[in-house]
Amino acid sequence: MKRVVIEAGRHARAACPVVAPWDGAAPPGLAAEGLLTAAQAHDQGLAFVLPTLAAESRAALEAAPAAPPGSGVSLTDNGKQVDVEIGGRLFTAYRYGDVPSRPYLWPVMAPGEVQATRAYPMIPDVAGETHDHKHHRSMYFAYGDVNGVDNWSEEPGHGRTEHRTIDRLISGPVYGLLETTSDWLSAAGEHVLRQKLALTFWNTGADLRMVDVDLRLKADTGDVRFGDTKEGGLISFRVASSMDVPRGGKIENSWGGVNEPENWGLAAHWCDYSGVAEGKAIGICVMDHPDSFRYPTYWHVRDYGLFTANPFALNDYTQGRKEGSHLLKQGETLRFRYRAIIHAGDAGAVDARARYLDFVAPPRAAGE
């Protein structure tokens, strides 16, 4: 193949990750008139970030002998954590060694070198931070009733997620990939289920940070019941305390709901939490994918700073009118796919509606 043909569809595209069919070795770049972007081999073909493409337009990107200058995404494992740098700057670190309950990602940096998530309890004495819910460790994956095991809190008797292996670690000019295997255990160390986690970090430029999450939970040793409880989230953030709604922050969803009363316990395709941190307006937007269990997910999102997707807590959300527990049979897998975008401004500034379409309805791409 010598080129990739892209059709934008009815919506304009900007800083949009694309994976196109491709046979043969990946070229270092793709070029069209006035455009040059890096390219990288991908399991499904060729990956690149489309800088811009107008609605209803088409572009033919030829294989280029060189990529634009600049560093890409670098993942480095030191045996306890995987540091993720984008463009030579730290974006986050996946911490799996010597963790009290489960792996987590901290810090999570927004554009402008701003910490988008709370430092507590990793750093216990940051001025102005709240000190509640010590298990809200920046960005993490957990749930509070799995065969009766509380793998959400850090209270006495809690379960835990134990990291087993790093299965793949890929760095490159377009994306970095981290794949891990972990076990969910009871307080006594009994096996509950197996976790496979894939994190894809896209090089979308200095003004945007983007990570795709593919979380798979398998009942590998017996049936697993996910109970109906609000205490949990399959992707969770604790935003920087200065972004809390009482301090001027804002929660928005894909339907236009604002703040906790119009977001908590409601299903939506995406949810955004924005505010001011270190004097800069930033936000975190989490998007659910149609491949996810119970898409679109329900949101357990609070004015005090918790931001999480929880598709099971229907009894809590509806005051008993519905039941949300789920029995996962032995050998079955639950899948959850999300895109998290850490951005400047609020949901309107990042054009969350357009970004969501990039995720679930990307531009058509064909190799020629």
Domain boundary among 69, 97, 121: 69
Please give the model's pTM, rounded to 2 decimal places.
0.98
Task: Answer yes or no: do 56 and 85 share one domain.
Answer: no
Task: Answer yes or no: do 131 and 146 share one domain.
Answer: yes
Q: Kindly indicate the confidence band of residue 71, based on its pLDDT and cuts at 50, 70 and 90.
A: confident
281 in a domain, yes or no? yes
Task: Answer yes or no: do 49 and 108 share one domain.
Answer: no
288 in a domain, yes or no? yes
Task: Answer yes or no: do 309 and 331 share one domain.
Answer: yes
335 in a domain, yes or no? yes
Task: Answer yes or no: do 12 and 82 share one domain.
Answer: no
Task: Answer yes or no: do 131 and 104 share one domain.
Answer: yes
367 in a domain, yes or no? no
pLDDT (0 to 100) of residue 294: 98
Task: Answer yes or no: do 168 and 294 share one domain.
Answer: yes
- 9 Cβ contact list (under 8 Å, min separation 6): 55, 56, 361, 363, 364
Task: Answer yes or no: do 90 and 232 share one domain.
Answer: yes
Task: Answer yes or no: do 310 and 324 share one domain.
Answer: yes
Q: Average pLDDT for residues 32-60, to the nearest whole number?
A: 94
Q: Average pLDDT for residues 75-85, to the nearest whole number?
A: 98
* pLDDT > 90? residue 111: yes
pLDDT (0 to 100) of residue 68: 86
Task: Read off φ and ψ for residue 350, nearest 5 degrees.
Answer: -90, -5
Q: Average pLDDT for residues 284-294, to the nearest whole number?
A: 98
Give residue 60's domain range. Answer: 3-69
Domain boundary among 42, 69, 96: 69
Q: Kindly indicate the confidence band of residue 66, based on its pLDDT and cuts at 50, 70 and 90.
A: confident
- For the chain, the domain total comes to 2
Instruction: Output the average pLDDT for the chain.
Output: 97
368 in a domain, yes or no? no
Task: Name the token pair of 274.
Answer: 């924005």
172 in a domain, yes or no? yes
In order of 1, 41, 73, 230, the CA distances from 44 in angstroms are 14, 8, 19, 36
Task: Answer yes or no: do 44 and 120 share one domain.
Answer: no
The CATH number given to whatever domain includes residue 116 is 2.70.98
Domain boundary among 13, 48, 69: 69
Q: Average pLDDT for residues 287-305, to the nearest whole number?
A: 98
Task: Answer yes or no: do 181 and 40 share one domain.
Answer: no
Q: Average pLDDT for residues 224-230, to the nearest whole number?
A: 98
365 in a domain, yes or no? no
Task: Answer yes or no: do 119 and 264 share one domain.
Answer: yes
pLDDT in tens, 146-186: 999 999 999 999 999 999 999 999 999 999 999 999 999 99
366 in a domain, yes or no? no
Q: Average pLDDT for residues 213-227, to the nearest whole number?
A: 98
